[in-house]
Amino acid sequence: MKLKIITSNPGKVREYSAALSRLGIETEHMKIPYDEIQTSELSEVAEKGMDEIISKGVRDFILDDSGLFIDALNGFPGVWSAYAQKTIGNKGILKLMEGVENRGAEFRCCIGCDISGKRIVVTGICRGEITLSEKGTDGFGFDPIFTHDGKRTFAEIPLEEKNSVSHRGIAIQLLLAELEKLGLSR
C-alpha cells in the first residue's frame, strides 16, 4: 500500500515516513495547500481539509491536524497551535505559564485518511507536562517544552521513541487498526 502524506511540515513527514515504513506502508510526500477552517475541533479541520484535497482529484492520502492543549490555559493554544507557534513561539507559551503550578497538557493528533474510496478519521492523545524551560534540539514545534515522562522533552528523545508514545504514534496505531478492519492494511 502507498499513502501520500499531505503536509508542509517536514517534522511530520519524518515521523510518518519512519512509522509507516515500519508497518510496510510506502509513503510519498506531497505539499498541497488546503484551508484550515476556524473551529474548536481538530477533526473538523481534518475533515474539511480532506474534502478540499479530494476535490483536487487526489486519492489515497493522509493529512493531520494537531495541537497542544494546556490545562491551565483552558486548552490554549489547541486548534490555534500553528498560529501560536508562529507568533509567540515556545518562549511565549513559557511566559504564559510563568508561576503556574498546574503544568498538565496534552498533544492531540487527528489523522484524516482517504484510502480506496473509504474515509478514516482517528485521534491520538498524549498526556504530559509543560516544562519550565526549553530543552533539546530534535523534533519540531512545541517538542522542546513538552515532556511525557516528566524527565525528557520530546526534543530530547529519538524519533523512534517519540513515535512509540506520541499523539501521532498513537493515531497511527488507531489508523492501522481501522485499515485492518477494512482488510486494507497491506
Contact indicator for 57, 31 with CB cutoff of 8 Å: no
Q: Which of residues 43-82 bind ligand IMP (CB under 6 A)?
A: 64-68, 81-82
Amino acid identity, position 78 = G
90 is an interface residue for ligand IMP by CB under 6 A = no
Contact indicator for 178, 34 with CB cutoff of 8 Å: no
Name the β-bridge partners of 61: 4, 114
Query: Which lies closer to ligand IMP via its Cβ, residue 76 or residue 140?
Result: 140
Name the CA radius of gyration of the chain, rounded: 16
Distance in Å, CB of 174 to ligand IMP, minimum: 16
C-alpha cell at position 84: 501560536
144 DSSP assignment: G
Question: Under rule CB under 6 A, how many of the chain's residues touch ligand IMP?
Answer: 19
The residue range among 18-26, 117-125, 134-142, 175-183 that interacts with ligand IMP, by the rule CB under 6 A, is: 134-142
Distance in Å, CB of 50 to ligand IMP, minimum: 14
Amino acid identity, position 140 = F
Is 51 designated active site? no
One residue of 53, 143, 148, 170 binding ligand IMP per CB under 6 A:
143
Total residues belonging to the chain: 186
C-alpha cell at position 30: 506531497
The residue range among 27-35, 95-103, 116-124, 136-144 that interacts with ligand IMP, by the rule CB under 6 A, is: 136-144
Q: From start to end of 18-116, where are the E strands?
A: 26-30, 61-70, 104-115
Q: Which of 35, 51, 64, 65 is catalytic?
A: 65
In the complex, which residues of this chain contact ligand IMP (CB under 6 A)?
9, 36, 64-68, 81-82, 85, 107, 139-143, 154, 166, 168
Cite the active site residues: 65
